[in-house]
Amino acid sequence: DAKICLSNISTLNRRLNALISVRTPESVLARVSQVASTEAGASLAGKLFAFKDNFCTIDQPTSCASQMLQGYVSPFEATVLTRLYNVGHAVDVGRANMDEFAMGTDTIFTRYGPTLNPLYPAPHSAGGSSGGSACAVSAGMCHFALGSDTGGSVRLPAAYCGVVGFKPSYGLVSRHGVIALAQSLDTVGVLGRDVPTVREAFGVISAYDPLDPTSLSIKMRRKLQLNTNRRRQESDGRYKIGIPLEFIVDSCSSDITNAWAVVLKKLLAQGHELYAVSMPEVKNALPTYYILNPSEAASNLSRYDGVRYGYRANIDRDADGVLYGVTRSQGFGSEVRRRILLGNYNLSSGAFKNHYIQAQKVRRKLKLGFDRVFSVEHPLEKQIERDNQPTVDFLVTPCSTDTAPLLDDVLSQKSPLDSYINDVLTVPASLAGIPAITVPWKTDDGKVVGIQVMGQYGDDDRMLDFSETIM
Ligand code: GLN
């Protein structure tokens, strides 16, 4: 099995550009056989994985696909990698391509060149920003992959490449050692060919980490586990499914809406109950996300000054103020520079109240909107008033508004809004911090579509149970 993955890497990676650095086959096979002899019982023993280039390792450079981090080697390792190596005994095959600093939806804003979608003979987008991770899984280069999902970056590429992409509840998986894009939204996600593999990897990386200040406490994790056990016992495997009307957006192609309808019919036939639910707050999710994300990103990225580490422009260091500006103009690509400008504008004294603070308020309303539709209460929030509409276990929607676009079409997009609009179906779950997963669905005419499931905060395990039945 490992040999097949390695052979796929050697034959396919040159064209697909999924992995930007690859371990030698000898070292991977040596590690696999070592693990097989000593740790055969571990859940991920000998399973191969790839990880996005924003996960820090101590033995190789970590670049976020940016020139700005050229030559940067981290002094510490991401907690999730340590856990995959030491608890899961999984073996990594290399680092995956991504949009620079995880900003993007097509893995085109990368200093390594775009990743291609393995499902299509003509060059199509692999999705982004974890496009390298999704492509590597889809092309059989590894069993699973790690990505980061701030507004959809695990789910969207998974949907385009026909694999499973899971964004856990905010706070379940440590971000220590994952280079931040927007901390209030960032999560570590898992991509795999099926739900059980994703679940195994999630089981290993979901753990309290004192090094991540947002990591959910051990006590709360126990409570979630007990809740899950109880709900599983009470359940007969049939769920109440919500169809949120605000996810029916004009930009959805007929391939997507038809597939959605077919999946819903299948769920009905399986004995689940379907309910239309309305969440008017969802309409504000995209603009809210594109205020908060650049604001947090701009603040994070201010540390790249050309002085302490990473790239430095080759100019006279004494020319005060110039080094910083030239370094940043040269070191960051166009999308990153755009977000820095947008973000600093939102945070400026003139705009702060009307943009940043306002977006926080709208975000809060959106969170409450989700709480109102889920039957299960939010374990960290006060119980809220429910209105008259039915409450549900999970929401089922499409993950993207269309199937993977042609690469040429994305490269020739005129406005950044053309790409931001692709996040309309994924950012609501990010803003609410709730778990969301996309599972691949093949239409009768052979198209590959991602179907998204969302659940209440902390209801990740049951959401995985349910998602497994869709595929
Ligand atoms: N496409 C979104 C953005 O560009 C998502 C990014 C992400 O989840 N890392 O911000």
DSSP secondary structure letters along 244-301? EGGG--TT--HHHHHHHHHHHHHHHHTT-EEEEE--GGGGGHHHHHHHHHHHHHHHHH
Please check whether residue 223 lies inside any domain of the structure: no
Task: Confirm if 456 and 391 have CB atoms less than 8 A apart.
Answer: no
Please check whether residue 168 lies inside any domain of the structure: yes
pLDDT at 134: 99
Task: Confirm if 220 and 380 have CB atoms less than 8 A apart.
Answer: yes
Could you say which of 63, 66, 129, 130 is catalytic? 129
pLDDT at 374: 96
Rounded to whole angstroms, how far apart are CA atoms 120 and 123? 7
Place of tokens 């590429």: 157
CATH code of the domain in which 379 resides? 3.90.1300.10
User: Is 104 touching ligand 1 by the criterion CB < 6 Å?
Assistant: yes
* 181 CA distance to ligand 1 middle (Å): 9
pLDDT at 331: 96
Other Cβ atoms within 10 Å of 121 Cβ, number: 6
- Domain end, chosen from 335, 353, 371, is at 353
Mean pLDDT by 10 residues, the chain (471 residues): 97 98 98 93 94 97 96 96 97 98 98 98 98 98 98 98 98 98 98 98 98 98 98 95 96 96 97 96 97 97 90 76 88 97 96 96 97 95 84 98 97 93 97 98 96 98 96 84
Residues with Cβ within 8 Å of 259's Cβ and at least 6 positions away in sequence, in order, are 398, 441, 443, 447, 449, 451
pLDDT at 318: 63
Task: Confirm if 224 and 454 have CB atoms less than 8 A apart.
Answer: no
Sort residue 226 into left (φ over 0), alpha (ψ -120 to 50) or beta. Answer: alpha
Rg of the chain, C-alpha, whole Å:
21
User: Is 459 touching ligand 1 by the criterion CB < 6 Å?
Assistant: no
DSSP-derived 3-state class of residue 147: strand
pLDDT at 90: 98
User: Is 103 touching ligand 1 by the criterion CB < 6 Å?
Assistant: yes
Please check whether residue 27 lies inside any domain of the structure: yes
Read off the amino acid at residue 176: H
Alpha helical stretches, state H, 17-125:
25-38, 79-86
Task: Confirm if 437 and 166 have CB atoms less than 8 A apart.
Answer: yes
- 190 shares its domain with 319: no
pLDDT at 289: 98
User: Is 427 touching ligand 1 by the criterion CB < 6 Å?
Assistant: no
Of 49, 160, 61, the C-alpha closest to 104 is 160
pLDDT at 319: 62
Place of tokens 């701030």: 150
Residue 293 CA neighbour count, 13 Å, CB half: 28
* 141 CA distance to ligand 1 middle (Å): 24
Task: Confirm if 58 and 75 have CB atoms less than 8 A apart.
Answer: yes
* Prior bond of 129 cis (ω within 30°): yes
- 148 shares its domain with 212: yes
Please check whether residue 230 lies inside any domain of the structure: no
Running DSSP on this structure, what letter comes out for residue 371? H
pTM: 0.97
- 406 shares its domain with 314: no
- 162 shares its domain with 85: yes
Rounded to whole angstroms, how far apart are CA atoms 103 and 460? 25
Please check whether residue 229 lies inside any domain of the structure: no
- 145 shares its domain with 207: yes
- 108 shares its domain with 197: yes
DSSP-derived 3-state class of residue 200: helix
Please check whether residue 226 lies inside any domain of the structure: no
* 100 CA distance to ligand 1 middle (Å): 10
Any catalytic annotation for residue 153?
yes
Could you say which of 133, 153, 295, 419 is catalytic? 153
Which strand (E) or helix (H) includes residue 424? Answer: none
Atom of ligand 1 nearest to the CA of 130: 9
Rounded to whole angstroms, how far apart are CA atoms 295 and 290? 8
* 129 CA distance to ligand 1 middle (Å): 6
The domain containing residue 430 runs over which residues? Answer: 236-283+362-470
| Beta-ladder partners of 241 | 274, 394
Rounded to whole angstroms, how far apart are CA atoms 424 and 247? 8
* 279 CA distance to ligand 1 middle (Å): 23
Atom of ligand 1 nearest to the CA of 289: 10
pLDDT at 324: 87
Residues with Cβ within 8 Å of 75's Cβ and at least 6 positions away in sequence, in order, are 58
- 167 shares its domain with 204: yes
Please check whether residue 96 lies inside any domain of the structure: yes
Of 170, 119, 132, the C-alpha closest to 149 is 170
